[in-house]
Structure 1
Amino acid sequence: MPFKPLSVLPTAALNAAFTAALTVALAGAPASARAETIRVAIGTQDTTINCATGGLLIRELKLLEKYLPRDGRYKEVRYDIQWKNFTSGAPLTSEMVADKLDIGSMADFPGSNNGAAFLKAGKRSVFITVLSGSTLGSGNGIVVPRDSKVTLLSELKGHTISVPFASTAHGMLLRAVAAQGWDPQKDVTIITQAPEVAGPALQAGRIEAHADFVPFVELFEHRGVARKIYDGAQANAPTYHGSLVSAEYAEKYPEVIVAFLRAALEADRLIAAEPEKYSLLIEQVTGIDAAVNYLYHGPLGLQTRDLTWKPEYRQALRTSIETLKLMGRDSPLNADSFIDDRYIRAAFKQSGLDYEQRLANRDKLPLKAVDATTGRPITDVQRAAGIWVQGEPKVRHYASIENALADLRRIEAAGGKARAVYVHDLIHRIKLLAPTSWYAIDAKGQLSAFLQKDAAAAYAAANRGRVLDFAGAKAAGPTAL
């Protein structure tokens, strides 16, 4: 019994229809049907690292094979598992609409394009899960060349900003420009530029600013070619990456979709338990530095891995559909019918997990650690810091920025080197790369970190302190002013 389209089922009947479909499918089928070959063609975005639990980790660890059904209707089935990697959502969508792929992962905004493209072709796709996101909006951002004097988005009026076209960063940029009260056609010049082009352009000073999605803003920062001046958290617009599937495919093979989601849940559990190990694996496969992968996937990460459809993510999809209108792309796409949470709920249940409990939990992956210099448990994380020392398997954690930088001086004096140093923005509560952050040191010698220089200056003025860059913060003694 195939699923009926959502549009013809009353809401109360959805779960009953889903259960009935699974029951009938598992009851068995003629031998000729059981002998079929089922294609499972999955489009991934390996370098978009917060899609890892819906692609790269499942593929590299062969988790899908572990969960694909092998009994009942599927007893004699052969699976043709195909993987194809993309650098953005638009070409992945094109292949899904052309029936070359069954499942794909992308962000809310390109996902809206996916749904609209399917409808235009007389078909349907559905968003089946979130993989990782930020209820605050972090994950997209705007950078300027490392030596640029620009420190605020408001300083870019009249300038050129590049962005990967039709990406979630494009949507963020349009909303950020609108929030400034600017006309995107007159007050800024927005040009198309992919991350692999933008990096060298930033390094050479050929572009004034660039907006991008996970993980390229932070990757450019980490590699010393750019400095972030705007984070999506400032727009307070939730964002996420998730997985979509052809509705026709999902209705035909619901157990396969649930198996894919069970694999995603296991991938999520594995990287939560050992974020450094799997950050290194992602680096090995993609070339994206492990330090940046950990920035997202480690404790208190820049985004939160989350496979539940929180109201904020539903709203993010509505916002993305509305943003299509800013690009002149009207569509009858409806966020409520575009999201289908039956499959992820079934995957949670089969995995022995409580979907409702996770749905209500908005916490980031918690930091459970002791201060590397004092051995005391870290209980207050607003000024927590971390150092991933080159050659060490685990990140060292600290209760304060002062403790971290004091230890960093000792590490470097002994000939060691940090793979990365992490701090947290005091205002937005987002994880930052310490070398490109701003600091305020108060009269007591306490350091606080900030994404933006003006925020550090305001805090310093209110606390009889002064503003420091990373070099100044490193040089400052634990009680110096």
Structure 2
Amino acid sequence: MTKLCSWRWVLCLVIAVLGAACTPSEKKSIRIAIGTQDATINCATGGLLVRELDLLKRYLPREGPYEDVRYDIVWRDFSSGPPLTAEMVAGGLDFGMMADFPAVLNGIASEQAGKRNIYIATLSGSVAGAGNGIVVPIDSPVHSVADLKGKRVSVPFGSAAHGMLLRALSDIGLDPERDVTLVSQQPAEAEAALRENTVDAHAGFVPFAELFPFRGAARKIYDGATTQIPTSHGVLVRAAYAKEHPEVVVGLLRAIIEADRIFERDPERYSELIEQVTGVDAEVAYMFHGPLGIQTRDVALKPQFLRGLRVAADTLVLLKRTSASLDVDRFVDDRYIRQACAASGVSYEERLSRHAKVPIAQRDARTGAAIAEPKRAAQIWVNGEGKVRSYASAASALAARHELRAQGKRVRAMFVHDRHTGLKLLAEQAWYAEAPDGDLDAFLSKDYAETWARERKGDVRQLDDVRVHPALEQQAAAP
């Protein structure tokens, strides 16, 4: 009986061992924790679109050491860069999407913590510095940065808008510490503060310097394009993570390249998606991402954008916002985006040298005339239409606006371009220099409009005060 029990015990042990050998081992898990800023729509192709269209899974490695891997994909949305940086430095995130000033602070913070984060790709940017801006309450007497002396100005501390504001004040000789009162305020608070006149101005990052005016909460007086200092949003990764999982990093960048392609093919549709997810109006998203947009989507780490990072690093030290410096050449690492471009059939060198914005339509939607001067072009988004209409001039778009209203159609938005910088503007917010023959040129700055009009013996008006010139009313409609 004892021998029988012993054999039974041995038999059970053998079966258990064989069973364990036949049971598939548990898959290795790799975390991909991504910090995004959904409402900061210049990060859309790095976060929101990749997530909502489920693009990342298409490009993650599945072969070799990754054959039996289980990916734990985590998305976290932040309202600005600093809290994202804190989480990334703490190890709670592997990737982060943010603008140049907070990215520099991210790099400094990681080094001070004995770690290292690296900047590996661009998402969107402007070589002229467009995107960040300063807005004031609708009825404010403030029309320039100089008028802010002695005023209360809110801004999200540590953001790209904070850096732009410090630079704008210093450029005209105002001391940010003594000549203005700066208060830290996130965009959600700022919109209410502007409506209630509890702040004299707000410096906002993308897209709030356009969003607040579009919603009727503010009036824009300054855009970062005035500085002509490049600005951009980009992708950061923990250096240790990139070293351990380089193929995963390349996979995410390939998904971003695909998101960029998708958006360029149909900016109206995906502007609507941004609105559905974030509440940022589609018209404002289109201002940034559509043809001749305020900024351009661009994965390449262009020399101009690296210059913007260096300026950000220098500005933060100069204005005593950090006591540490950052070696930008070491901070930026282009090997992963180069690999991603090669795998996606994209010429990285061509992207580096590309500077033109996505072009506007070739013909005026009303007259059929060629659109020859982008800085004079205009667009109208008609309610119920899937595509934005383009026009050769603000005067032609104004005539179309009158015709559409006469037909009972609602205009969702009308866009014009600043004659001085080419910056896309909300037509209702622009100042117009009207020539005696009815020709119109649009400007962000009232001062520029007045100078232009004075030189041409014209008048300065705003949109609702401009009348369609008789010559335009007689033009034949486009076939």
SS at match of 2:237: strand
Cα pair distance change 1:34/1:477, threshold 3 Å = farther
Counterpart residue number, 1:359 = 352
Structure 2 counterpart of 1:461, which letter?
Answer: R
- 1:263 correspondence with 2:255: yes
Q: 2:277 aligns with which of 271, 280, 285?
A: 285
Identity %: 54
Is the CA contact 1:143–1:229 (under 8 Å) kept in the aligned structure 2? yes
CA contact (8 A) 1:34 1:73 kept: no
Partner of 2:447: 454
| Mapped partners of 1:277, 1:452: distance in 2 | 31
Q: Distance in 2 between matches of 1:34 and 1:407?
A: 64
Q: Find the partner of 1:186 among 165, 178, 188.
A: 178
**2:92 matched to which residue of 1?**
100
Is 1:60 equivalent to 2:55 in the alignment?
A: no
Residue 33 to residue 176, structure 1, CA distance change in 2 (3 Å): farther
Counterpart-to-counterpart distance in 2, 1:269 and 1:382: 25
| CA-CA distance at 1:92 after TM superposition | 0.7
Tell me if 1:294 matches 2:286: yes
Aligned twin of 1:218: 210
CA distance, structure 2, for counterparts of residue 206 and residue 279 of structure 1: 32
Deviation of the 1:73 alpha carbon: 1.2
Matched, 1:407 2:379: no
User: What SS does the corresponding residue of 1:54 show, helix, strand or coil?
Assistant: coil
CA distance in 2: counterparts of 1:377 and 1:77, whole angstroms = 55
Work out which of the residue numbers 361, 372, 377 in structure 1 matches 2:365. Answer: 372
After superposition, the Cα gap between the structure-2 partners of 1:122 and 1:34, relative to the gap in structure 1 and judged at 3 Å, is farther
Matched, 1:333 2:292: no
- For residues 318 and 280 of structure 1, the distance between their equivalents in structure 2, rounded to whole angstroms, comes to 35
1:66-105 to structure 2, matched below 5 A, reads 66-105=58-97
Matched-pair contact (CA < 8 Å) for 2:43–2:234: yes
8 Å Cα contact 1:388/1:418 also seen in 2 = yes
Q: Secondary structure at the match of 2:450?
A: helix
In the other structure, the counterpart of 1:197 is 189
Separation in 2, partners of 1:471, 1:150: 21
Provide the secondary structure at the position in 2 that maps to 1:228.
strand
- Note the C-alpha offset of 1:191: 1.0
Root mean square deviation, CA, Å: 1.5
Q: Residue 182 of structure 1: CA displacement?
A: 1.4
Distance 1:246 1:261, change over 3 A: same
Please point out which of 166, 173, 188 is paired with 2:165.
173
Say if 1:465 and 1:279 are closer, same or farther in 2 by CA, change over 3 A.
same
Distance in 2, matches of 1:298 and 1:181, equals 36
Deviation at residue 87 of structure 1 after TM alignment: 0.6
Kindly indicate whether the alpha-carbon contact (under 8 Å) linking 1:446 and 1:478 is maintained by their aligned counterparts in 2.
Answer: no
* 1:397 corresponds to: 390
* CA contact 1:382–1:429 (8 Å) conserved in 2: yes
SS in 1 for 2:146: helix
Aligned to 1:441: 434
Identify which range, 280-289 or 396-405, moves more after superposition.
Answer: 396-405
| Rounded Cα–Cα distance in structure 2 between residues aligned with 1:146 and 1:391 | 29
User: Is residue 119 from structure 1 mapped to residue 100 from structure 2 by the alignment?
Assistant: no
SS at 2:203 equivalent: strand
Which secondary structure state, in structure 2, belongs to the residue aligned with residue 113 of structure 1?
helix
Q: Deviations over 1:125-172 (max 9, x none)?
A: 000001000100001000010111211111111111110110000000
Letter in 2 for 1:378: I
Alpha-carbon deviations, 1:62-100, whole Å to 9, x = none?
Answer: 000000010111111110011010110111111111111
How far apart in 1 are the matches of 2:71 and 2:398?
Answer: 53
The corresponding residue for 1:16 is none
Q: Which residue of 2 aligns with 1:5?
A: none
After superposition, give the CA deviation of every residue in 1:240-288 in whole Å (9 maximum; x if it has no partner): 0001000000010000000000000010011111000000000000000
Q: Is the 8 A contact 2:399 2:468 kept in 1?
A: no
Contact kept? 1:446, 1:479, Cα under 8 Å: no
Work out which of the residue numbers 392, 415, 420 in structure 2 matches 1:422: 415
In structure 1, what residue type is equivalent to 2:434?
I
Aligned pair 1:109/2:101, yes or no? yes
Measure the CA separation in 2 of the matches of 1:429 and 1:121: 42
Aligned to 1:145: 137
Deviation at residue 328 of structure 1 after TM alignment: 3.8
CA contact (8 A) 2:374 2:422 kept: no
Shift of 1:33: 11
**More divergent stretch after superposition (377-386 vs 355-364):** 377-386
Distance of 1:332 and 1:435 partners within structure 2: 43
CA distance in 2, matches of 1:476, 1:316: 42
Deviations 1:40-61 (A, max 9, x none): 0101100000100000000000
Render the CA deviation track for 1:113-133: whole Å, top value 9, x for unaligned: 111110011000000001000
Q: Deviations over 1:456-481 (max 9, x none)?
A: 000001111110111112x342559x
Q: Do the aligned residues in 2 keep the contact of 1:280 with 1:290 (CA within 8 Å)? A: yes
Distance in structure 1 (CA, Å) of the matches to 2:323 and 2:291: 39
Matches of 2:174 and 2:25 in 1, distance apart? 59
Which of structures 1 and 2 has the bigger CA Rg? 2
Specify the SS of the correspondent of 2:45. Answer: helix
Report the Cα distance in structure 1 between the residues aligned to 2:468 and 2:218, rounded to whole angstroms: 25
**Structure 1: distance between partners of 2:25 and 2:134:** 52
The letter for the 2-side match of 1:157 is: K
The one-letter amino acid paired with 1:415 is G
Quick one: distance in 2 between partners of 1:456 and 1:333? 41
1:406 and 1:478 in contact (8 A); partners too: no
| Number of aligned residue pairs | 449
The residue number in structure 2 matching 1:6 is: none
Q: 1:390-444 CA distances to partner (integer Å, 9 max, x unpaired)?
A: 1111101101111111111111122211111000000011111110000001122
| Equivalent position of 2:127 in the other structure | 135
Farther-moved stretch of structure 1 (438-447 vs 61-70): 438-447
* d(CA) in 1 for partners of 2:25, 2:59: 20
Contact 1:107–1:240 (CA under 8 A) maintained in structure 2: yes
State the Cα distance separating 1:310 from its structure 2 match.
Answer: 1.1
Any idea what the Cα deviations from partners look like across 1:281-320, whole Å, max 9, x if unmatched? 0000000000000000000000011111111110111111
2:477 aligns with: none
Given that 1:140 and 1:231 are in contact with CA atoms closer than 8 Å, whether structure 2 keeps it comes out as yes
